[in-house]
Amino acid sequence: MRGRILRIELRRSAAAISGALVAFFGIAGLYTLFLTDQGSVWDVQWTMLAGFQRVLLVLLWPLALGAGAWLARRDRRTRMEELLLTTPRPVRSRVLPSAVALGLCLGLGYLLVLGAGAVAMSPSYNHLGWVPIAVVGALSLVAAGWLGLGIGRLLPSTYTPPLLAVAGVLVLILPVQLGKDGGLDRAALLAPNLSTNLDEVTTVDGSSSLGQSAWFAGLALAGLVLAFAARRRGAVLAIVPALVGLVVALPMLAAGPPSGLRIDPAAVAEVCTTDGGPAVCVSKVHERDLAALTGPARRALELLAKLSDPPTSVHEVRSTRPGPQPTSEVWFDSENHNSESGWIGEGDALAVRVLAGAGTRPCGQPGFRDRAMAAAWLWGSYPLPGGEPAPTVTAERTALWEQFRSLPAAEQLQRVLVIRAVGLACPKGDRQ
pLDDT tens profile 129-168: 999 999 999 999 999 999 999 999 888 888 999 999 999 9
- What percent of the chain clears pLDDT 70, i.e. is strictly above it? 87
Residues 6+ apart with CB under 8 A from 363: 422, 423, 426, 428, 429, 430
Q: Does position 224 have pLDDT exceeding 50, yes or no?
A: yes
Phi and psi (nearest 5°) for 399?
-65, -40
Determine, yes or no, domain membership for 188: yes
Question: Could you tell me the pLDDT band of residue 381, with boundaries at 50, 70 and 90?
Answer: confident
| Shared-domain flag, residues 394 and 347 | yes
Question: Could you tell me the pLDDT band of residue 176, with boundaries at 50, 70 and 90?
Answer: low
Q: Does position 85 have pLDDT exceeding 60, yes or no?
A: no
| Shared-domain flag, residues 134 and 212 | yes
Model pLDDT for residues 17-32, shown as the tens digit of each residue: 999 999 999 999 999 9
Say which residue, 150 or 12, is predicted with more confidence: 150
Q: Are 344 and 361 in contact (CB under 8 A)?
A: no
For 201, counting Cβ atoms within 10 Å of its Cβ (0-12 exposed, 13-18 middle, 19+ buried), the class is: buried
Beta-carbon neighbour count of residue 395 at 10 Å? 11
| Shared-domain flag, residues 173 and 146 | yes
Least confident of 49-58, 80-89, 170-179, 256-265: 80-89
| Shared-domain flag, residues 149 and 223 | yes
Q: What is the pLDDT of residue 177?
A: 67
Q: Does position 83 have pLDDT exceeding 70, yes or no?
A: no
Q: Mark 91-116 as b/e (b = at least 16 C-beta within 10 Å).
A: beeebbbbbbbbbbbbbbbbbbbbeb
Average pLDDT, the chain: 87
Say which residue, 146 or 321, is predicted with more confidence: 146
The whole-angstrom separation of Cα 107 and Cα 102 is 8
Max intra-chain CA distance, the chain = 103
Of 239, 263, 287, the domain-final residue: 263
Q: Does position 243 have pLDDT exceeding 60, yes or no?
A: yes
Question: Could you tell me the pLDDT band of residue 244, with boundaries at 50, 70 and 90?
Answer: very high
Determine, yes or no, domain membership for 402: yes
- What percent of the chain clears pLDDT 90, i.e. is strictly above it? 56
Determine, yes or no, domain membership for 228: yes
| Shared-domain flag, residues 219 and 87 | yes
Q: What is the pLDDT of residue 431?
A: 46
Q: Does position 77 have pLDDT exceeding 70, yes or no?
A: no
Say which residue, 320 or 431, is predicted with more confidence: 320
pTM of the model: 0.85
| Shared-domain flag, residues 248 and 280 | no
Determine, yes or no, domain membership for 430: no
The whole-angstrom separation of Cα 374 and Cα 357 is 6
229-232 CB contacts, 8 Å cutoff, 24+ apart: 229/91, 229/150, 229/153, 229/154, 230/90, 230/91, 232/154
Determine, yes or no, domain membership for 58: yes
Q: What is the mean pLDDT of residues 68-72?
A: 91
| Shared-domain flag, residues 33 and 130 | yes
| Shared-domain flag, residues 78 and 184 | yes
| Shared-domain flag, residues 132 and 215 | yes
| Shared-domain flag, residues 258 and 289 | no
Q: What is the pLDDT of residue 73?
A: 79
Least confident of 175-179, 228-232, 292-296, 322-326: 175-179
Determine, yes or no, domain membership for 56: yes
Model pLDDT for residues 89-119, shown as the tens digit of each residue: 566 777 888 899 999 999 999 999 999 999 9
Q: How many CA atoms lie within 13 A of 423 on its CB side?
A: 27
Of 211, 244, 263, the domain-final residue: 263
Phi and psi (nearest 5°) for 329?
-125, 145
Total tally of structural domains belonging to the chain: 2
Of 205, 235, 263, the domain-final residue: 263
The whole-angstrom separation of Cα 214 and Cα 208 is 10
Determine, yes or no, domain membership for 429: no
Q: Does position 13 have pLDDT exceeding 90, yes or no?
A: no
Beta-carbon neighbour count of residue 261 at 10 Å? 19
Say which residue, 174 or 288, is predicted with more confidence: 288
Model pLDDT for residues 30-46, shown as the tens digit of each residue: 999 988 888 888 988 89
Say which residue, 181 or 163, is predicted with more confidence: 163
Least confident of 127-136, 188-197, 198-207, 394-403: 394-403
Determine, yes or no, domain membership for 383: yes
Question: What range does the domain containing 399 cover?
Answer: 269-424
The H-or-E segment that residue 153 falls in is helix 131-154
Q: What is the mean pLDDT of residues 177-199?
A: 75
Question: Could you tell me the pLDDT band of residue 56, with boundaries at 50, 70 and 90?
Answer: very high
| Shared-domain flag, residues 209 and 298 | no
| Shared-domain flag, residues 308 and 353 | yes
